[in-house]
Structure 1
């Protein structure tokens, strides 16, 4: 079977590796950009995605470029703790959770594709503009502005925006909390996220708040922003354990991204074509799921093709799961604990148990894990998507 993959992002490259591991040897990835460069800032890979990369034989390479996340902690806008939980191996998973620079992960996958499928398996400067291509199957992994999706669903238009804007950057800063903590602080409207992605001192951060007026671009992660203006929005967010404005100000640059997603689709496939990753189910960057879900898509697609000869099982498994996750992220996913704490105690609190009881906090966390597919027991016991 000749398979063409549109897009050499994380989803597209993971697809090529997964197909090759499943026995498909005629796979070519077409990338519109003339050169693939390590762009972007930090992302998180949840244990279910790390499992898939491990089963693709990439565990050691991944560990060499990533930081194993020790805990996820939520705070209010005054730095008071709302909820904290261990992550990765410390939470009972058989696989770690990682924080990693998106560009470094992409280059890791690119190197592996070229090693395993050949130097010409990834063709740059080659844009897939529609559904007609010389192959048996076209996989649209070409992102939120997917040309393949647009050909399947013409007239869809720009991705819908929810009124919030994210600013992202990286800063050399002193370690905070465990030194491997991922933190989120906010009130349900304005939010700050930080976690280390390098040697313990390179911190990835995300600042979020409503934006007046229309954003200039939707779906462009690399638009530069005014760093001083971002700092001003968080000027009084100084905690005993983290100086938020100092972290923001210490970045070399900030990138602006309006929070957009895509509407769930009634189907992902057509005659000789199927969608994957953001092209299929772009979602708000909540709960650390964008890249992780694309990697899982890749593995399930390869398994479906190898075991049934079609994409039907892939869509049957993945479309309902990602639709539920898209909708959960629109409701703020596990981050809703910050909104609840603010609504019930806008000036802060003396005892979080009196504001958002432990049972409620724990169920919010557990429910999201079930929706996103990384409940510890279910993930540890699930059969592998490897073929053979």
Structure 2
């Protein structure tokens, strides 16, 4: 049996590693030509780490990220609300880790190439369509390396190609994004450790402006500073949806938080000193009547895209895998 995995992100690579552990042949097809450490941060909750530990990459992830000690809540005026322990410190067997998404992707990608073989992990392959019959699945790709179209045959196809899944769209042509008026800005900033240096901060609310802030790399510059991941969220009536993952203007974002100068953190300064800022709309999709059609099925965000609340999108993708 051969399984074609369409999408080489967190869900697709984790699924491939799990299949390999069980002796099941698979090929991974990723649209990106070169896998690089780009993007911003992600939190791996204990139940996500459980799945990653089973794939044998726990030690690498702990070395690449920062273990969260606590989650601390503040109002938009910088007033302390409460805090709670996280991960191992809250009694879980496994830690909660803040990590650069690019490092997580690289660790999974390199593990897949090493275990499956370089000829089983295909980059620059963008899925354009699929068809199937009782004997198998035919998946069409555009090969960015050769600028040609190619077809791959498999017994089963699993779509791990994200919220804008081509395979999902072919299964459900009327499928649409749902936007509730919340836009987000994401960035990473080299900054001195905040609070304990292992604190996950939530400040404010989406109605007035909300910030989620946590460290993802220790001593990033050799001077004791950390790479701090931050997410800004704002909900407005009749808001226009941000473009998807486009470069944002830090000044526009900082204006929302211009009065957020606290004794433990200057939020506008954190935003303005970001290496890059990206804009995203906060979207999900309505539940589907089915995920599986014959020999083709959906996984992760391709099946059930959800708001990035509590880092459960990545965790659910890993559990799916």
Where does residue 144 of structure 1 map in the other structure?
Answer: 163
The alpha-carbon distance between structure 1 residues 251 and 188, as it changes in their structure 2 partners (threshold 3 A), is: closer
The alignment's TM-score, normalised by the length of structure 2, stands at 0.88
- Could you tell me which of 187, 210, 216 is aligned with 2:235? 210
C-alpha contact (below 8 Å) 1:131/1:138 kept by paired residues = no
2:287 aligned with 1:264: yes
- Could you tell me which of 184, 204, 217 is aligned with 1:186? 204
In structure 1, distance between residues paired with 2:242 and 2:274 = 22
Moved more, 31-40 or 118-127: 31-40
In structure 2, distance between residues paired with 1:170 and 1:131 = 38
In structure 2, distance between residues paired with 1:79 and 1:288 = 23
In structure 2, distance between residues paired with 1:156 and 1:242 = 42
The alignment's TM-score, normalised by the length of structure 1, stands at 0.73
In structure 2, distance between residues paired with 1:20 and 1:256 = 36
Where does residue 15 of structure 2 map in the other structure?
Answer: 15
Where does residue 307 of structure 2 map in the other structure?
Answer: 284
Where does residue 135 of structure 1 map in the other structure?
Answer: 154
Where does residue 66 of structure 1 map in the other structure?
Answer: 65
Measured on the aligned residues, the alpha-carbon RMSD in Å equals 1.3
In structure 2, distance between residues paired with 1:38 and 1:199 = 16
The count of corresponding residues between Structure 1 and Structure 2 is 293
Classify the secondary structure of the residue corresponding to 1:237. Answer: coil
Runs of 4+ in 1 over 4 A off after TM superposition: none
Where does residue 217 of structure 2 map in the other structure?
Answer: 198
Where does residue 271 of structure 2 map in the other structure?
Answer: 248
C-alpha contact (below 8 Å) 1:74/1:82 kept by paired residues = yes
For residues 279-358 of structure 1, the aligned pairs below 5 Å read 279-298=302-321
Where does residue 56 of structure 2 map in the other structure?
Answer: 57
Give deviations 1:105-127, integer Å, cap 9, x for gaps: 00100000011100112111212
Give deviations 1:175-233, integer Å, cap 9, x for gaps: 1111100001013422011100001511001111135642252xx33x11111111111
**Deviation of residue 82 (structure 1)?**
2.1
Where does residue 174 of structure 2 map in the other structure?
Answer: 155
In structure 2, distance between residues paired with 1:72 and 1:191 = 15
In structure 1, distance between residues paired with 2:165 and 2:295 = 16
The alpha-carbon distance between structure 1 residues 30 and 247, as it changes in their structure 2 partners (threshold 3 A), is: same
Classify the secondary structure of the residue corresponding to 1:150. Answer: helix
Where does residue 93 of structure 1 map in the other structure?
Answer: 92
Where does residue 273 of structure 1 map in the other structure?
Answer: 296
Q: Please, which runs of 5 or more residues in structure 2 have no aligned partner?
A: 132-137, 139-152, 220-225
Give deviations 1:67-98, integer Å, cap 9, x for gaps: 11111112111122223111111111110010
